[in-house]
Amino acid sequence: GAGVSQSPSNKVTEKGKDVELRCDPISGHTALYWYRQSLGQGLEFLIYFQGNSAPDKSGLPSDRFSAERTGGSVSTLTIQRTQQEDSAVYLCASSLIDWDYTFGSGTRLTVV
Partner 1 sequence: GENVEQHPSTLSVQEGDSAVIKCTYSDSASNYFPWYKQELGKRPQLIIDIRSNVGEKKDQRIAVTLNKTAKHFSLHITETQPEDSAVYFCAATRNQFYFGTGTSLTVIP
**Would you tell me which residues interact with partner 1 (CB under 8 A)?**
33, 35, 41-45, 48, 56, 58-59, 91, 98-99, 101, 103-106
Cβ distance to partner 1 smaller for residue 25 or 106: 106
In this structure, are residues 67 and 55 in contact, taking their beta carbons and an 8 Å threshold?
yes
Residue 92 C-beta: closest distance to partner 1, Å? 10
Of 92, 111, 110, nearest in space to 15 by CA: 111
CA–CA–CA angle 21, 35, 82 (5° rounding): 50
Residue 96 C-beta: closest distance to partner 1, Å? 14
Cβ distance to partner 1 smaller for residue 80 or 101: 101
Residue 68 C-beta: closest distance to partner 1, Å? 18
Residue 50 C-beta: closest distance to partner 1, Å? 8
The Cβ-side half-sphere exposure at 80, using a 13 Å CA radius, reads 7
Cβ distance to partner 1 smaller for residue 45 or 80: 45
- Which SS3 state, helix, strand or coil, does residue 84 take? helix
